[in-house]
Chains A and B, each alone.
Chain A
């Protein structure tokens, strides 16, 4: 039984009650849960046939209803019946509270995503559950959790965004620097452009002025890029591709890519427009290309300075981000468990019906007869915790439908019970085949 079961065990409010799958039984079923009987041995009698289960009607005082249900949940004693079967899911009384819990869970998912994305060193495996397991929160504790989690999420979002934009800027600057350094060899070796203009051979040509478009493109797109350029602007352009030495981070996906630098020399305005459109199409990053060497040196120097600045700011931002993430890692497991419990309690309260005077909530639940004193003490404890003078109490009802089947299980017998249940669940007080299965299974399959 993993840690997840531990959490769900505390969060749900039932014993491992199993229902007969026949018409006439109410359909609602709380998520079943294993009760860890720990050292206590299951009595053979009730394992053989179901434990005696009775229907009780609980009168929960309005003020202490939440705490009583929370106590019952911690013990895992009862299974609640749905007293409002005809009411829509979003017309129930406590649907606002449930939505609040869901909003909180959304925030927690976001926090977890950020942790998984940016924490370094990265976590090995999921977040550990808190120990000891916390209880369901009181209303004002819930408000505190809400405020804190929202503040943390807001800060994280902002810092994350800043960090991402800084990283994108850094990548761009590094790409520009790469373009300048790599294409220097290309243009330095070519004949200087003025040769074309000064000869007078091209007097009737208007725009012989050579223009450049330089940029970086993703290496996987180079073949189709090159082909499209050739088809669209055949004869009017010269394209050169060089690979960059160091891989840089792709701004969108975050993976390291070895970008390819390209330099397109063209003449003509219309061709220029076509070239620009094609560059946009392949999502390349283009930069202004300097004509003279002096300009180029100047730009390079400026770039180096800016890169240094951004690197220092980036490291500071990263440090702050890690701080926030460590804070989130510390509090998140606790919050998650508490909000889960709160949501479960609210969903159970949705199943209850308010009394005529609206002073108390009436709930119907199946409870094992042997546990009735524990039920009473749980109700008393809940009333005491909420500080109300009037106690909640229960009333045993005769039931027309047969109660659900309940087998007390431990971690050994649970497996065999599962196998037997896959074929069909025993009805109330029917002989339980699991007892025989425990004996014969090893002989049939293990020997």
Chain B
């Protein structure tokens, strides 16, 4: 009976997360923000939300990148507070969340090193949630094997390196392939972890992760049109824990253009909606935006059940989406492009 003993170890943190979730900006807040004319006005509005004096305590000039950094810092503080107080298996779960950022950081550093950029310049651009000690030394590796055996073997990413070890030299293409292979292993590992815990966790997290897996498959396919990544190579990169496995993935590996991808998506009702042609109206959304929307929808469902870890994952993802929204609005405000300002993705409808 998981519900009876859940609160012993994890009740405080779940309560904390639900409290923080109540502070996520609502439709009214976005409406107010969209009406601002300058970043100073946005700062004033953000003071009345849960963000409080976040922006007003800094001494530097208010720019969009400063806003972005402060919001991210806020998220990292909240996450560290949760992580330091967590007991297993929640601590393992939270660590899993950080691995995706670690993979992104590693690939960022590798591509930066290839372009001869200074490590000190790249480090601030890494996501703080995915920081680990040996991060800055990633630039000295020449091949994925070297990367693994010298640097990453002591980090948590070592477990995802099964298929990714290869002798080919690291270049831009290789870095992307490495990213996708690591991510595939990570998603499958995360999925089986959630399935093993079972119960409400499985019901909430598995659909989210399956959606993530299918989304990666679609994006990889669409992005590989025009590059020399063959279908066979592509199919090695598709995560196999999604709904598309195995027939959809096989069809996707054979797809050569956008129409064929759309045909594959038509077989699955959720993805049919995403790939539908939009009506010729002004609020045209890109494919990425539609994937984000669907992700937000799935994540908000996590809060309807209690006594599971999915709330932590969903909170992090929704907070990230909120950061993206605020930065989008800030960009529109600074560049005075008010026409597109309503292209953010609202999260909770909120009550007035």
- Residues on A close to B: CB < 8 A? 88-90, 102, 106, 109-110, 221, 224, 227-228, 231-232, 274, 277-278, 280-282
Contacts and interface: CB of A to CB of B under 8 A. Distances in A.
Contacts of A278: 137, 140
Contacts of A277: 119, 136-137, 139-140
Given A106-B57, A281-B135, A224 B154 contact: yes
B306 interface: no
Contacts of B150: 228, 231-232
Contacts of A231: 149-151, 153
Given A231-B149, A231-B151, A281-B134, A88 B140 contact: no
A274 B56 contact: no
Interface string B118-154: 0110000000000001111101100000000111011
Nearest to B135: A281
Contacts of A224: 133-134, 154
A90 B134 contact: no
B119 A90 contact: no
A102 B41 CA distance: 14
Contacts of A90: 41, 44
Interface of B: 35, 41, 44-45, 56-57, 59, 119-120, 133-137, 139-140, 149-151, 153-154
Contacts of B153: 231
B56 A102 contact: yes
B134 A228 contact: yes
Nearest to B41: A90
A206 to B, nearest CB: 21
A106 B47 CA distance: 14
Nearest to B151: A228
A88 B35 contact: yes
A88 B35 CA distance: 10
B41 A221 contact: no
A90 B151 CA distance: 53
A90 B120 CA distance: 41
Contacts of B120: 280
A227 B44 CA distance: 49
Given A280-B119, A281-B119, A227 B140 contact: no
Among all A-B residue pairs, the 8 with the closest Cβ atoms: A281-B136, A281-B137, A231-B150, A232-B150, A224-B133, A277-B140, A278-B137, A90-B41
Contacts of B56: 102, 106
Contacts of A280: 119-120, 136
B140 A232 contact: yes
A109 B119 contact: no
B137 A228 contact: yes
Contacts of A102: 56
Contacts of A282: 133, 136
A280 B135 CA distance: 11
A251 to B, nearest CB: 16
A282 B119 CA distance: 12
B301 to A, nearest CB: 32
Nearest to B118: A280
A88 B57 CA distance: 23
Contacts of A281: 119, 134-137
Nearest to A98: B44
B250 to A, nearest CB: 40
Contacts of A228: 134, 137, 150-151, 154
Contacts of B41: 90
A115 to B, nearest CB: 16
Nearest to B137: A281
A336 to B, nearest CB: 16
Given A232-B140, A277-B136, A277-B139, 12 more contacts: A89-B44, A89-B45, A90-B44, A106-B57, A109-B57, A110-B59, A221-B133, A231-B151, A280-B119, A281-B134, A282-B133, A282-B136
6 contacts: A106-B56, A109-B57, A224-B154, A227-B154, A232-B137, A274-B140
A281 B109 CA distance: 12
A110 B53 CA distance: 13
Contacts of B136: 277, 280-282
User: Which of B41, B135, B137, B151 has the most A CB atoms < 10 Å from its CB?
Assistant: B137
Nearest to A95: B44
Nearest to B48: A89
A106 B58 CA distance: 9
A277 B142 CA distance: 14
Contacts of A106: 56-57
A266 to B, nearest CB: 14
Contacts of A274: 140
A332 to B, nearest CB: 17
Contacts of B57: 106, 109
A82 B33 CA distance: 22
A228 B149 CA distance: 10
A280 B140 CA distance: 12
A280 B120 CA distance: 9
A228 B132 CA distance: 13
Contacts of B135: 281
B105 to A, nearest CB: 13
Contacts of B119: 277, 280-281
Nearest to B134: A228
A286 B264 CA distance: 58
Contacts of A227: 154
Nearest to A113: B57
A436 to B, nearest CB: 35
A227 B41 CA distance: 51
A230 to B, nearest CB: 9
A229 B59 CA distance: 40
A280 B136 CA distance: 8
Nearest to B133: A224
